Amino acid sequence: MTDTSKIRNFSIIAHIDHGKSTLSDRLLEHTGTITDREKKDQFMDKMELEQERGVTIKAQTARLTYKADDGITYVFNLIDTPGHVDFSYEVSRSLSACEGAVLVVDASQGVEAQTLAHLYTAVDVGLEIIPVLNKIDLPSADPERVKEEIEETLGLDSSIAVEASAKEGKGIKEILEAVVKYIPPPSGDKNAPLKALIFDSWYDAYRGVVVQVRVFEGEIKKGMKVRFMATGKEFELDEVGVFAPGPVQVKSLGPGEVGFITAFIREVRYTKVGDTVTSVDNPTKEPLSGYKSAKPMVFSGLYPVDGIQYENLKDAMVKLRLNDSSFTYEPETSLALGFGFRCGFLGLFHMEIIQERLEREYSLSLITTAPTVIYKVIKTDGEELYVENPSNLPDVQAIARIEEPYILATIHLPSEYLGAVLGLCEARRGVQKDINYITESRVLLTYELPLNEVVLDFYDKLKTATKGYASMDYEPHDYKTGSLVKLDILINGEGVDALSLIVSKEKSYYKGREVAKKMKEIIPRQMFDIAIQAAIGTKVLARESIKALRKNVTAKCYGGDITRKRKLLEKQKEGKKRMKQIGNVELPQEAFLAVLKID
Amino acid sequence: MSKCNYCDFNSVASPHLFLKTPNSAPLKAFFGKSRTHSEDEYIDALTLELRSLLNNQEELKTREVTSIYFGGGTPSMLLPGSIAKIIYEIEDTFEMKNKEVEVTLEANPETIDTERLSAFKRSGINRLSIGVQSFDDSVLKILGRQHSAKRGADSILQAREVGFTNIGLDLIFAVPEQSLNSWASSIEQAIELNTEHISIYGLTIEEGTPFFSTLSEDSGFKLPSEESEVLMYQTAIKALKKAGFNHDEISNMSKTGFESKHNLRYWRGGDYIGLGSGAHSYLSSNPDGEKSKVWGRRWQNEADIKKYIELAKASNPLRQKVEDLNYDDALAEALMLGLRLPDGIDVRAFSKRFGITPELALTSKAHAKHGLTHTKDGFFSLTDKGILFSNEVF
C-alpha cells in the first residue's frame, strides 16, 4: 500500500486528434514503464478496432513510478478515458477516479468541443487541471493566443501551462513535474469501511471479469468478500493487482490507489461502471455518488443475411455482451428478415462498433436496419407504450400522440461555419438554446434536437459542413410531443417491415421520395421490373421503378482463360450471397440503411 | 508488347494445341511478335518450350494432338515460314496420326493477301478465322481497326481463291453508334460470303484497355441500349439459322461439319496446352497421380515476352500462375462451360463424375423460377431466354 501523499491520479483530456495516445506513450516511456520494444505504437489503445479508428473505446490504466526533482519517488496512476461522444457517462466515471487531469490543447488549433465537454466534466467532479499546449513544434503553433483562449474561455490558470510536443518528446519531464506539483494527493481513511469505485470492466477468458477500481476509503485485499452495491452481487476476490502496465498482483489496495480485482465473475453486467465496491463483513452505509445505469438510446434490428447463422449470431452477442453490458439485445421477428434481434446501443458510433465486431470477429454477415430511438406512444385509451421498432407502432387510429426523445447538444465550431451549422440544426428540427462567441472566431452553440434526427447521420453531416472542424457532445434531455408518422416502404406492392421508419410528418414527403430514389440506386436490376413505393398508411408518397435486366451474358471466350471467367462468376455469386431475398427481390445490405444515405 | 484493344490480353500471338490421349483429349499453342524481339527469337523460345513439355510431363507422351490453333493476338503477322516451323515441331513432338487435325490461324484482314494466304496454306494451316468484325466502315473506324469493309470481304474471297475450304469470320455487335440496320447488313454480307463458321461477339468494354479509356473520356460515343443489344443478338441468331447455320455455342454458329473443333473442346472441358508468352493451359487428368484430390490443373505462362524468352532460353519454368482445381472449382467450370453449348450437359455423365445432377449443383435457384433451363433427352441446357441470362444461371 502506498502512502497517499506520494500518489497522483490523473487523466489526459484531449480531442481525438490531439495526440492523447502519443502523450500517454511518452509518459510511459519517460518513466521507464514501457520500453520502445514493448509498445505497439500506442499502448493505451488496445483493441484492433480502436487502433483502426484512432479512438479509445475501453479505458485502460497504467501505474507509473516517477522519481521527481524533489528526490521522492511518486506513484502515478494514469487513467485513460473513452474518446467518443457516445461514452460520456463512462468518461465521467473515469474522471471521478482522479484528482487531476492533463488537458491537451493543440497549440495551433486551440480548444475543441470534445475537450470542452470532457473538461467541464472534469471541473464538475472537482479535478485540478494542468493545460498542456501540444504540437508546439508545428510552424502554425501560436501558444500565446491559445493560452489567452484557455484563460478567457475555460477560466483556467494558464500560468501553469506546459508547452510540449508529444511527437518529438518535448516537455514530457515538465508535465510529470507539474503533475507532482499541482495535482493534489488523494485522501481517505484506511480504517474506514471499504468504498471503491468501478470505472471500467471487461471480460477475460481466464480470470472472468477484470474490474478496474479506485479505492476511496478502506482497503481491498485478496480473499476478501465484496459486494457491488448497485447490482447487489457478492464475490470473494481472487486477485488484487495493478497494471504496470501489464497486470501485477499486490497484497492490497488502500485509499487513493487504483488497480484491478478479479473474482471469476462471469458477466460484466454484474460490474457496472460507477458502482461502489464495499466489504461484505464491514460494509459502508453510503455508496459513492454519481452512479447511473447506462441506458441504450439508439436501437436497430440485427439479422443474419443467411437464416442459418441465427444461432451463431446469438452466441456472438452473448459473448460480446460479456464485455459490453451497455449493449442490449432481445429476439425479434421480422416478416421480411426472419429471426433476428432488436439491439440497443449508446449511440450510432457504438452501433457501428458492435456491428463491425460481430461481422469481423465472428465471421457473420449481417443486415442492420435503420437506427431508431424509443418513442413514447400515448394511446387513445390512455395506455402508454415505449416503441423501439417502427413496425410495432399501433394503428394510427389508436394513437393519441407520440412523444420523441430530445437531447441537449453542445456544438463547438469556428465561426465561419456558423451559417452552415445553424442551417443543419434547423433542418433537423432543432431549437436553439444558446449561441455564444467564445472568441471572435469560435462559437459554442447549444441546441435541443430530436434524437431521431441526430442518430441517423447528424454527426457526419456536421463534420462535412465544417470540414471536420466542429465537434459535438450531447446528453439526453426530455420527451416532447412530435408530429410523427410511420413511413412504409413497399417492394413490388408488399410492405417490408424492416424498412419502415418513423419520421416527422412535415418531412415525410421529402424522406419518402429520397429513400425511394436511394433504393433505386442501391438495388441492382433483376430479371423482372421492381416497383419501390414509399407510403404513409395507404397513401403513396413516392414511386420508383427499376427496369428489368434484359440480359446478363458473357458472349466472349477469353482465349482459354477459363479461370478468369470462373473468378468473375464467383465474384458475382459472392455479391449475391450478401443479399437478402425479400419475396422475389434480392436486396443488398445497404438497402436497409438507405435512409442513412440521403442528404 | 501492347495490350489488345478490346480485352486485356497482350497482343501476343500464340498457338494452342489440343492434345488427344488414347482416351481422347487435346493440346493448343500460342505465338508472339513484338517490336523489341525478333520473330526468330520468339519462335526459338516456343520451340524450346515445346521440347521441354515432354521432359517435364511424361504423361503427355501418350497424347495425340487433335487440333492446333494459332490465336491470341495477330499470328497472321508472322512469316508463313515461322508457322510452318512450329507445325513441324509439333508433329515431331506429338503423335498426329489423324489426318483430320484442325489447324486454325487467326488472321486480321490487313495482314493477309493472296500470296501470304497461299503460303500459310502450304505451311499446314487448313482453317482460317478472319477478324472481319464488321462490314460497315464507320463501325470499323470506331473499333479502331486498320482494315476497310471491302478489305474484309476481299480477304475472304482471296482465302477461297487459294483453296481454303474451312473459313470462319467474326462479327462484333453492341458497338457504340452501331445501328440495328448496320448490324443486320453485316450479317447479310457475311451470309453472302458463304463462310463455314461465324462468331458473333457482344462488345464488352473492359477496364484497363485502350478502348475503355477512349470511351470514358466523354467521347460523345453512345453505347447501344441493352434492349438493342438483345435485339441485335436475336436478329443474328435468327438470320444465321435461316441461312443454314447451327448454333454451336452462345457466340458460335457453323455449317454442319464445320464447327470449330478446337473451340468446342474448351466448352467440353477438354485438355489443352498453350505455348508462348501469356498462354493458358489446362489438364483435366490428375497431375499428381490417382490419389491426389486435384480435379485438374490450369496454368498461365509468363506474360512478359522478354521474360518469357529469357526463361525459355535458360530452361527455367515458364508457368507463372498454376491453379489446382478442387471439386467445387471443377464443378463450377463444368456447369459454366457445358451450359454454353446448345445441347447442354449430359446429365448422366455429369452425375457420374460429380455425384450430383447439374440442376441441383447450380447454387442460384433463379433458373428454375424464370424458365432459364430445361432438361431434354438426358441433357440439361439453357433455354433461349436462359442464354441471354446465362450469368444468372451459372
Distant-in-sequence, close-in-space partners of A208: CB < 8 Å, separation ≥ 6:
A238, A262, A263, A264, A265, A266
Provide, as residue numbers in chain A, all residues whose Cβ is less than 8 Å from the Cβ of B263. 557
Q: Give the model's pLDDT for residue A412.
A: 80
Is there a domain that residue B30 lies in?
A: yes
Q: What is the distance between the alpha carbons of residues A341 and A320, in angstroms, rounded to a whole number?
A: 14
Check B16 against A565: CB less than 8 A apart. no
Check A552 against B389: CB less than 8 A apart. yes
Total number of domains constituting chain B? 3
Pair B57, B144 in one domain: yes
- Residue A87 C-beta-side C-alpha neighbours within 13 Å: 26
A563 touches chain B (CB under 8 A): yes
Q: Give the model's pLDDT for residue B18.
A: 47
Pair B234, B101 in one domain: yes
Provide, as residue numbers in chain A, all residues whose Cβ is less than 8 Å from the Cβ of B336. 562, 565-566, 569
* Distances B285 to A155, A310, B261, B272, B296 between C-alpha atoms, Å: 82, 41, 20, 11, 6
Is there a domain that residue B49 lies in?
A: yes
Pair B191, B312 in one domain: no
Check B390 against A558: CB less than 8 A apart. no
Pair B304, B281 in one domain: yes
Domain limit, last residue, from B325, B346, B366: B325
Is there a domain that residue B269 lies in?
A: no
Q: Give the model's pLDDT for residue B279.
A: 86
Q: Quickly tell me which residue has 503427355 as its cell.
A: B60
* Domain containing residue B257: 26-262
Q: What is the distance between the alpha carbons of residues A514 and A128, in angstroms, rounded to a whole number?
A: 50
Q: What is the distance between the alpha carbons of residues A435 and B208, in angstroms, rounded to a whole number?
A: 54
Provide, as residue numbers in chain B, all residues whose Cβ is less than 8 Å from the Cβ of A567. none
Check A573 against B336: CB less than 8 A apart. no
Pair B93, B231 in one domain: yes
Whether B155 contacts B186, CB under 8 Å: no
Whether A113 contacts A411, CB under 8 Å: yes
CATH number for B53: 3.20.20.70
Q: Give the model's pLDDT for residue A350.
A: 86
Q: How many CB pairs under 8 A join A and B?
A: 93
In angstroms, what separates the C-alpha of B358 from chain A's closest C-alpha? Answer: 16
Q: Identify which of B327, B335, B328, B321 has the alpha carbon closest to the alpha carbon of residue B292.
A: B327
In angstroms, what separates the C-alpha of A595 from chain B's closest C-alpha? Answer: 29
Check B336 against A555: CB less than 8 A apart. no
Q: Quickly tell me which residue has 500462375 as its cell.
A: B321
Check A566 against B226: CB less than 8 A apart. no
Check B230 against A551: CB less than 8 A apart. yes
Chain B nearest-CA residue for A586: B366
Whether A500 contacts A390, CB under 8 Å: yes
Q: What is the distance between the alpha carbons of residues A240 and A473, in angstroms, rounded to a whole number?
A: 35
Check B280 against A562: CB less than 8 A apart. yes
Pair B104, B201 in one domain: yes
Provide, as residue numbers in chain A, all residues whose Cβ is less than 8 Å from the Cβ of B369. 584
Provide, as residue numbers in chain B, all residues whose Cβ is less than 8 Å from the Cβ of A572. 391
Domain limit, last residue, from B233, B262, B291: B262
Q: What is the distance between the alpha carbons of residues B91 and A101, in angstroms, rounded to a whole number?
A: 86
Tens of pLDDT along A167-191? 888 999 999 999 999 999 999 999 9
End-to-end CA distance of chain B: 34
Q: What is the distance between the alpha carbons of residues A20 and A14, in angstroms, rounded to a whole number?
A: 6
Assigned C-alpha cell, A116? 470542452
Whether B38 contacts B306, CB under 8 Å: no
A572 touches chain B (CB under 8 A): yes
Check A569 against B336: CB less than 8 A apart. yes
Closest CB to B263: pick one of A552, A557, A563. A557
Q: What is the distance between the alpha carbons of residues A585 and A491, in angstroms, rounded to a whole number?
A: 8
* Distances A303 to A10, A54, A352, A413, B328 between C-alpha atoms, Å: 42, 28, 14, 38, 28
Pair B173, B298 in one domain: no
- Residue B73 C-beta-side C-alpha neighbours within 13 Å: 27
Q: What is the distance between the alpha carbons of residues A249 and A260, in angstroms, rounded to a whole number?
A: 9
In angstroms, what separates the C-alpha of A416 from chain B's closest C-alpha? Answer: 37
Is there a domain that residue B299 lies in?
A: yes
Domain limit, last residue, from B237, B262, B287: B262
Check B266 against A557: CB less than 8 A apart. yes
Pair B252, B281 in one domain: no
Distance of CA B191 to the CA centre of its chain: 21
Give the best residue of B382, B387, B391 to mutate against chain A (max A CB count within 10 A).
Answer: B391
Whether A106 contacts A161, CB under 8 Å: no
φ and ψ of B16, to 5 deg: -105, 135
Pair B170, B190 in one domain: yes
Is there a domain that residue B10 lies in?
A: no
Beta-strand pair B297-301/B280-283: antiparallel
Pair B90, B50 in one domain: yes
Q: Give the model's pLDDT for residue B287.
A: 53
The full 3-state SS of A554-598, as one line of letters, equals: CCCCHHHCHHHHHHHHHHHHHHHHCEEEECCEEEEHHHHHHHHHC
A248 touches chain B (CB under 8 A): no
Please count the other Cβ atoms lying within 10 Å of the Cβ belonging to residue A346. 24
Is there a domain that residue B6 lies in?
A: no
User: 3-class SS at A376?
Assistant: strand
Is there a domain that residue B270 lies in?
A: no
Residue type present at position A10? F
Pair B165, B286 in one domain: no
Check A560 against B337: CB less than 8 A apart. no
Tens of pLDDT along A9-42? 999 988 765 467 788 888 888 888 766 545 554 4
Q: Give the model's pLDDT for residue B176.
A: 87
Whether B271 contacts B27, CB under 8 Å: yes
Is there a domain that residue B188 lies in?
A: yes
Q: What is the distance between the alpha carbons of residues A572 and A570, in angstroms, rounded to a whole number?
A: 5
Please count the other Cβ atoms lying within 10 Å of the Cβ belonging to residue B319. 15
Per-position pLDDT tens, chain B of length 394 = 233 333 333 333 345 554 433 232 233 333 433 444 577 888 888 889 888 887 777 777 777 888 888 887 678 888 899 899 988 888 888 877 666 789 999 999 998 999 999 999 999 999 999 999 999 999 999 888 889 999 999 999 999 999 999 999 999 998 888 999 999 999 999 999 999 999 998 887 666 666 666 665 556 677 788 888 899 999 999 999 999 999 988 889 999 999 988 888 888 888 888 888 888 888 887 555 555 578 888 888 888 888 888 999 998 888 888 888 888 888 988 998 899 888 899 999 999 989 999 998 887 777 777 889 999 999 999 998 888 888 888 7
Check A559 against B333: CB less than 8 A apart. no
pLDDT averaged per 10 residues in sequence order, chain A, 599 residues? 90 72 83 63 49 50 90 92 72 91 88 72 88 90 89 82 88 95 94 94 85 95 95 94 87 94 89 93 91 82 91 91 84 91 88 88 90 93 92 90 92 89 94 88 90 84 81 84 93 92 91 93 91 93 91 64 77 78 86 80
Q: Identify which of B36, B132, B1, B27 has the alpha carbon closest to the alpha carbon of residue B76.
A: B132
Check A551 against B229: CB less than 8 A apart. yes
Can you list the positions of beta strands (E) in A218-327? 220-221, 225-228, 233-236, 239-243, 247-249, 252-253, 258-262, 276-279, 298-304
Pair B76, B128 in one domain: yes
